[in-house]
């Protein structure tokens, strides 16, 4: 599973960072979250899916 962030939609509220810091990191310079991994480890897939579901603007895009 891969994940990316649509930076045009990201509001930088850091919810994904709090939910799954192993995959998401907040970029203080650009005020948006960014993805730290090229492929999501299987044991973190559920957290990443939850982050995508809870992302208010829908900025987290999962690519299976």
User: pLDDT tens digits for the chain (64 residues)?
Assistant: 999 999 999 999 999 999 999 999 999 999 999 999 999 999 999 999 999 999 999 999 999 8
Half-sphere exposure of 45 (CA within 13 A, CB side): 9
CB 12 within 8 A of CB 33: yes
| Structure confidence at residue 19 (pLDDT) | 97
Q: Quickly name the fold that domain 2-63 has.
A: Alpha-Beta Plaits (3.30.70)
Q: What is the pTM of this model?
A: 0.93
| Structure confidence at residue 26 (pLDDT) | 96
């Amino acid at each position: 599973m891969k994940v990316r962030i649509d930076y045009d939609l990201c509001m930088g509220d850091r919810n994904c960072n709090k939910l799954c810091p192993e995959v998401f990191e907040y970029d203080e310079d650009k005020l948006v979250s960014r993805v730290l991994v090229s492929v999501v480890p299987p044991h973190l897939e559920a957290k990443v899916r939850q982050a995508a579901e809870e992302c208010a603007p829908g900025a987290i895009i999962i690519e299976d």
